[in-house]
Amino acid sequence: MQRIFWTISSVLAALGVAAAALVTLNLRGEEPLPATETLQSTPALVQRGEYLARVGNCMACHTAQGGAPYAGGRGIETPFGVVHSSNLTPDKAHGLGDWTSAEFWRALHHGRSKDGRLLYPAFPYPNYTQVTREDADAIFAYLQSLPPVAEPNRPHALRFPYSTQAALGVWRALFFAPGAPRHEPTQTAEVNRGAYLVNGLGHCTACHTPRNALGATSDARAFSGGLIPVQNWYAPALNAAHEAGVKDWRTEDVAALLQTGVAPQGAVLGPMAEVVFRSTQYLTDADARAMAVYLQALPQQPPAERAPPPAPPAAAMARGAKVYEQRCAACHGAQGQGEPGAFPALAGNRAVTLADPTNLVRVVLQGGYLPATAGNPRPHGMPPFQQVLSDEEIAAVATFVRNQWGNQAPGVGTIEVYRARERRGL
């Protein structure tokens, strides 16, 4: 009996130590909040905050379809369930009306709400933790200037145990630590500004970095490409020339892609089109260039050594050629050459030959639409073919364009088309 007593005591003591360590890790770097508001808002601060909120793309997540801007309620699907964005308007009952700038800073920097709850990292505070206090204050001043909207916050719909604060505390202890802007003294001010925008407010690594089974990213694999599982798009590597690296582009072309959605070397589609439409088109020329310079300075992945893919079946190529002639050639050209300024070339297009064909299949299914921007107000688009072509035809034409005009990539099967359809209910 005494042995059982000591065993239980040891287990309880170990649990107590683990719980204390968990609490300590989740409070690291936090300081007591001031009792009163100290921020003095000015028109200039509000204007700056509006710009920074655009750079951070805050409205995209915090606005439900058909809802008031920043009033929250948009469902953010994750592999663990749905997280609903919160109301950021200054409504006192449901929004930020009773918040202080220090509490807002704590949410961005530490991922903790006004009432002390831990926030889910669908709100990208692992990136926003690098935002400066001055910029956080400016964003808060802007949000406080908005019309209050009495829109109640919707509860999350996460599966157990992901719905518990205990599980979130363990995740944070393993994968999150508060950070700060990474200033590299050996780099220029322009590169450091670009790093701040890309890694902090722009939170580019949130999509362009692979995630582990618990949804966490690693600095060691930053920018190396990642599947956005629920949206079912692949965010290509930004540090690899064969995917979406821009090291060899003209800096002006990289900046143009961010601000207009188009460049001589390519254009943005899918989730990135929304990012350009809602966020990066509003970048100042200086900030767009800074981001471009930083992205070009990223250490590059060495080219992957892969054996040449097997030649696709002749029947699939013949069927794909027929579909291409009937449905695609009028815009993309008989030789896949496209039309500059209107329709992208498919010959030599690295987006077409990605190892993962998900993006190509999704464009054929749902169409390809560039964002309408000030620099490209009337973009051309591609119609969807999900109701026109069968899975077999889509697989065949995707295989054809991936292996014609000098392109070389593995063929696409009907199962890959089916998966692309069913992920989004197409």
pLDDT at 419: 83
Q: How confident is the model at residue 210 (pLDDT cuts 50, 70, 90)?
A: very high
Please indicate, yes or no, if residue 303 is contained in any of the structural domains: no
pLDDT at 425: 39
- For 325, other C-beta atoms within 10 Å of its C-beta total 13
Phi, psi for 381 (deg, rounded to 5): -145, 170
Indicate the length of the chain as a whole number.
426
Q: How confident is the model at residue 302 (pLDDT cuts 50, 70, 90)?
A: confident
Comparing CA positions, the residue from 69, 78, 90, 245 lying closest to residue 157 is: 78
Query: Which tens digits make up the pLDDT trace of 290-300?
Result: 999 999 999 99
Q: Which helix (H) or strand (E) holds 381?
A: strand 381-382
Same domain (yes/no): 363, 281: no
pLDDT at 28: 65
Q: How confident is the model at residue 424 (pLDDT cuts 50, 70, 90)?
A: very low
CA–CA distances in Å: residue 66 to residues 63, 71, 73, 82, 273: 8, 11, 11, 19, 19
List the domain range (segments joined by +) for residue 255: 189-297
Residue at a domain's end among 133, 150, 175: 175
Same domain (yes/no): 331, 414: yes
Question: Residues 179-190: what's their mean pLDDT?
Answer: 91
Does residue 56 register a pLDDT over 50? yes
Mean pLDDT for the chain? 91
Please indicate, yes or no, if residue 2 is contained in any of the structural domains: no
Does residue 203 register a pLDDT over 50? yes
The fraction of the chain above a pLDDT of 90, given in percent, is 79
Same domain (yes/no): 266, 342: no
Residue at a domain's end among 237, 262, 297: 297
CA atoms within 13 A on the CB side of 323: 22
Question: Residues 246-260: what's their mean pLDDT?
Answer: 97
Residue at a domain's end among 175, 204, 234: 175
Q: How confident is the model at residue 271 (pLDDT cuts 50, 70, 90)?
A: very high
pLDDT at 98: 95
Count of domains for the chain = 3
Does residue 103 register a pLDDT over 90? yes
Same domain (yes/no): 161, 52: yes
Please indicate, yes or no, if residue 335 is contained in any of the structural domains: yes
Q: How confident is the model at residue 335 (pLDDT cuts 50, 70, 90)?
A: very high
Contacts for 214 with CB less than 8 Å, ≥ 6 apart: 171, 174, 175
Same domain (yes/no): 110, 137: yes
Does residue 134 register a pLDDT over 90? yes
Question: Residues 165-184: what's their mean pLDDT?
Answer: 93
If one compares 332 and 19, the residue with the highest pLDDT of the two is: 332
pLDDT at 308: 82
